[in-house]
A and B are shown apart, each in its own frame.
Chain A
Amino acid sequence: MSERSEHIVYIRPRSSWASMDLAEFWASRELMYFLTWKELKVRYKQTAIGVLWVILQPVVTTIIFAIVFSNVTNFDSPGIPYPLLVLSGLLLWLYVNIAIVFSSNSLVGASDLVTKIYFPRLILPLAPVFAGLIDLAVGIVVLFIALSIFGLGFSSSMVAIPLFLLLSGLLAAAIGILTAALNVRFRDIKFALPFALQIWMFSSPIFYPINILSERARMLLSFNPMSGIISGFRSAIFGTPFDWPLIGTAAAMTVLWLAISILVFKKMEDSFADYI
C-alpha cells in the first residue's frame, strides 16, 4: 500500500502547548509564494496610477517635511541633507507600517479561507510582509536617484543595507502576526492599530536624527526597535558611524517580539475558525 510514502494526519483536541510544525511550514512555501504574488497583483488593480503610489507617498511626504522643517528648525545632521534623512527613514517606516496594516487584517479578511480550508495559518499574515519588500525595493531605487541628485555617491557601508531590510521585515512580521491573531478575537485591534501606529511613528527617528535627542530620550527610544533599524539603515546609506549598541538592542527586541508573536499566534490558531 505504499505507492507513496504514507502520510498520516493526526487529529487531536487542542494541546496546551503551542507547537510549531516547521516541516509543514516549509512544505507550504509555494503557497506562500502564490499568496504573496496575489497580494501584489491585487493591491494595485483598479487604481488609476497603480504602482506609482509606492513612489508618490514617500516622495510627497518628504517634500512637505523638507519645506516645513527647513523654515522652523534646523535638523541638519553632519553629511546628511534633511530631505534624504526623511526619505530614508520614511521608506523603512512605510514598509513596516503598510505591512502591519495588511497583516493585521489578513486572517479576518480571509475568513472564507480560514473556515473552509486547512493550511498553515501563519502564511496569511506573512504574505503582506513579503509583498511589501517589492514596494520597498522600488522605494530604495528612488532613494538612490535622490542620492545622486544631491551629489552623494556610493559608500562601502552600503553592503550593510540588507541587514536593516531584514530587521525591518522581521519586525513587521512580528507585529503583523500578533495583531492578526488578536484581531480574530478582539476587533478592538481595528481601532487601536492606526492610533498605535501613529504614536509609534512619532517615537521613531523618521523626521529627525536620533542624535538631536537628550540622553534620557534616546535611552527611552532605544526600546523602540525602529530607532536602531532606521539609525543603522542611515549609517549604511550615508557612511556615517554605526551605533552598534542601539542596533544590537533593536535586533534583540525584534527577535523577542517575533518569538512572543509566534507563540501567541500558535496558541490561538486552533480556535480561529470558531471565532472568526
Chain B
Amino acid sequence: MPITSEISTNGSGSAPTAITVSGISKRYLIGGPHNNSLRDAIMGLVRNPLRERRQELWALRDVSFDVKKGERIGLIGRNGAGKSTILKILSRITRPTKGTAQIHGRVVSLLEVGTGFHSELSGRENVYLNGAILGMRKAEIDAQFDAIVEFSEFGRFLDTPVKHYSSGMYMRLAFSVAAHLDPEVFIVDEVLAVGDSAFQRKCVNKMREIGRSGRTIFFVSHDMEAIKRLCSRVIWLEGGRIKEDGNASEVIDTYLQSVSGFTAEAAASMSIEERLAVSGLRGEFDNAIREQNITALKKILRQVYITDSEADAVIEFELGQYS
C-alpha cells in the first residue's frame, strides 16, 4: 500500500488521490518515410539520415495534474489539442515519451462504445465477450447480466446475432455493459452520443450515479452541456498544454468565448447567422451541411452558444432546405 497516495493537503475536503499525472509529454513522428514495410526500414538505415527527417509532433507537452478520488473531470479542447492522447496514455494504450502517471484502483476506459463487439455473435454472447475484454470476470458478468440487459431495454432480441440489430440498439447494449463495470476510475470518451435523446439522458444519469458512488470519472466530450451536467472540474487543453484547469462552468465559458469570439451574454443579442459570421465558423458550417454531417454540425453550433434542442431545429431546417 503506497503512503504517498494518502497525502493530501487540500484543506477540509481532502480526499485521496486517484490519478497523478506528472510532466507527461508525447511525441509522434509524422511524415518522412513510413516504416511500414521492411524495404523502407532497411532503406532508412542505408540512406543519409539527414535527408528524409521525420517531423516531430508533440501531442502533449509537460502536462501535470492531480485528480482526487470521486472527482468528475471533463477534458475539453479543439481537435488536435491532445485530449485523445491523454486518454490513450491513461488507458495504457500508448506510452508517454516523457513523464509518469499513477492511477489508484481498477481503471476501465471506454474510448469507443462497442469495441470488441462481434457482429456474428448474439447479444448475450457479446455481453460476455465485451465484459471480458473490458476487464470483467465471468462471475461479475453473471451477477450483473440481468441489470445490463434491463438497462439496455433489450430483452427478447438477446439471442439474435448483433448484425441484425440497428446500430442504435447495438450501441445501447454496448454502453450498458460498460456502465456496469464498477471500476474505481472510469475513463470515457465521447460515448454519450448513443441512441436517442432519452437514452442519452439515461446514460448521463447513470454516469452521475457512478460518480456519486465515489468513482472517479475522466470524461471527454464536445458536448459542453453534458460536461456541465456531469463534471465539477474541467481541464482545457490547447496545443498539448493545459490552458486552464478549474471550475467546470467557468472554464467552459472561457473556452466557448475563445472559440466563438464572443460571450454567452453577447450571443443572446445576436442571430445565429451573426454568431456564425463573427466566429468565422460559417465556412465549416456550410461544409458540414453539404456533407450532411450531423455530428460536425452539432459541434459547430455548440461553439456559438446554441443548445442541443435549438441545434436540432436548426439542422432540420438547414438540411430540409438543402434536399
Give residues in A with beta carbon < 8 Å to B.
1-2, 4, 6-14, 30-31, 33-35, 38, 41-42, 45-46, 112-119, 185-188, 270-271, 273-275
In the bound complex, do residue A8 and residue B69 qualify as a contact, i.e. CB atoms below 8 Å apart? no
Count residues of B near A (Cβ-Cβ below 8 Å): 51
Give residues in B with beta carbon < 8 Å to A.
1-2, 5-6, 16, 28, 35-39, 41, 69, 88-107, 109, 111-112, 115-116, 118, 120-121, 125, 128-129, 132-135, 137-138, 184
In the bound complex, do residue A117 and residue B89 qualify as a contact, i.e. CB atoms below 8 Å apart? no
In the bound complex, do residue A13 and residue B95 qualify as a contact, i.e. CB atoms below 8 Å apart? yes
Q: Inside 8 A of B103's CB, which chain A residues have their CB? A: 8-9, 11
In the bound complex, do residue A13 and residue B99 qualify as a contact, i.e. CB atoms below 8 Å apart? yes
A108 CB, min distance to chain B CBs, angstroms: 11
Instruction: Give the CA-CA distance A114 to B111 in the complex, in Å.
Output: 11
Known: A30-B138, A186-B37, A186-B38. A6 touches B97 (CB 8 A): no
A115 CB, min distance to chain B CBs, angstroms: 6
In the bound complex, do residue B92 and residue A118 qualify as a contact, i.e. CB atoms below 8 Å apart? yes
In the bound complex, do residue A34 and residue B128 qualify as a contact, i.e. CB atoms below 8 Å apart? yes
A258 CB, min distance to chain B CBs, angstroms: 23
A273 CB, min distance to chain B CBs, angstroms: 5
Q: Which 9 A-B pairs have the closest CB atoms?
A: A11-B101, A118-B92, A34-B132, A9-B103, A116-B115, A188-B38, A116-B111, A45-B120, A186-B38
Across the interface, A14 reaches (CB within 8 A) one of B95, B111, B112, B121, namely: B95
In the bound complex, do residue A13 and residue B97 qualify as a contact, i.e. CB atoms below 8 Å apart? yes
Across the interface, A46 reaches (CB within 8 A) one of B120, B128, B129, namely: B120
In the bound complex, do residue B93 and residue A118 qualify as a contact, i.e. CB atoms below 8 Å apart? yes
B161 CB, min distance to chain A CBs, angstroms: 8
Q: Which residue of A lies closest to B137 (CB)?
A: A30
B182 CB, min distance to chain A CBs, angstroms: 10
| Additional A-B contacts beyond A117-B91, A119-B133 (19; CB < 8 A) | A1-B6, A1-B16, A4-B105, A6-B105, A7-B104, A7-B106, A9-B103, A9-B104, A11-B89, A11-B90, A11-B92, A13-B96, A30-B132, A30-B137, A31-B132, A116-B93, A117-B134, A186-B36, A186-B38
Instruction: Give the CA-CA distance A11 to B97 in the complex, in Å.
Output: 11
B55 CB, min distance to chain A CBs, angstroms: 15
Q: Inside 8 A of A9's CB, which chain B residues have their CB? A: 92, 102-104, 107
